[in-house]
Amino acid sequence: MVTRPEGGYLVAHTGGNIALKTSTDRVTFRNAGAVFPGGAPWTTTYTGGSRDLWAPDLSYHNGRYYLYYSASTFRSNRSAIFLATSTTGASGSWTNEGLVIESRTSDTFNAIDPNLVVDDQGRWWLSFGSFWSGIKLVQLDPATGRRLGTTMHSLANYVPGIEAPVMTKRGAWYYLYVSFDRCCQGASSTYRVMVGRSASPTGPFVDRAGRGMLAGGGTQILASHGSVHGPGHPAVLADRDGDHLFYHYYANNGASLLGINRIGYDAAGWPYVY
């Protein structure tokens, strides 16, 4: 989700050709078509022919919307992250900017679940990753939104399952939110949201107890409770009324829903949701 310069919010989410929604209040959302209403044939090598594209990451920079999104199939790391841009965000207005990074079955990482962060020096970084060897980071060229150089940093790993990174900057710290465990099993999903922090976007990231996130560390801030099952795949929005955590979860009947919580920070600067 991103705030629009003219007011309100634009949401992109997993679905056929990437679904779009708009909102004026973060409560009521209206369908707004698809990013690629005519299809995205350049992705089908990775999706097995499916039109479903995953985990879009939406941001707004220099008068343009940037959308990083994933193409893959379940339980495969034959995957790719692509970039699309638009000046309006409207359905059908998006330009395919091409491949950013891909992974093959011989690789030890999985190129899905992208998230863009711009650091204090104006450098662009893309975190991504799902299972395999965990969460990775590559530098991007701000002029093109595409990969810059060949260096790949490792940020976090958790052997039972880790994916869906999002990185934000607040004060002196870069915060790395990730999902542990399993998604997409309805009310049986075990997803939970974890966080660590670092003074640098390239790490090392540690949790509240000082455990390195590359060694399985992470401080839990949200997990299943009551009728909320498997909350995960977080996104963070710094809005006018504070920071907010967006995530999906499953209801008791297995329906997939959007959850939104406010983020607070304790005296030591560690985030919590309420």
* Token couple for 180: 């542990």
1-104, CATH topology level: Tachylectin-2; Chain A (2.115.10)
Read off the pLDDT of residues 200-222 as tens digits, 9 standing for 90 and up.
999 999 999 999 999 999 999 99
* Span 43-65, pLDDT tens digits: 999 999 999 999 999 999 999 99
Full-prediction pTM beyond 0.85? yes
- Measured between alpha carbons, how far is 165 from 189 in angstroms, rounded to an integer? 18
pLDDT, tens only, 78-124: 999 999 999 999 999 999 999 999 999 999 999 999 999 999 999 99
Residue ranges of domains in the chain = 1-104, 113-274
Domain 1-104 and domain 113-274, same fold? Reply is: yes
Written as six digits, the tokens of 256 are: 């997939």
Burial (CB < 10 A; 0-12, 13-18, 19+), residue 171, is: exposed
CATH, domain range 113-274:
2.115.10.20
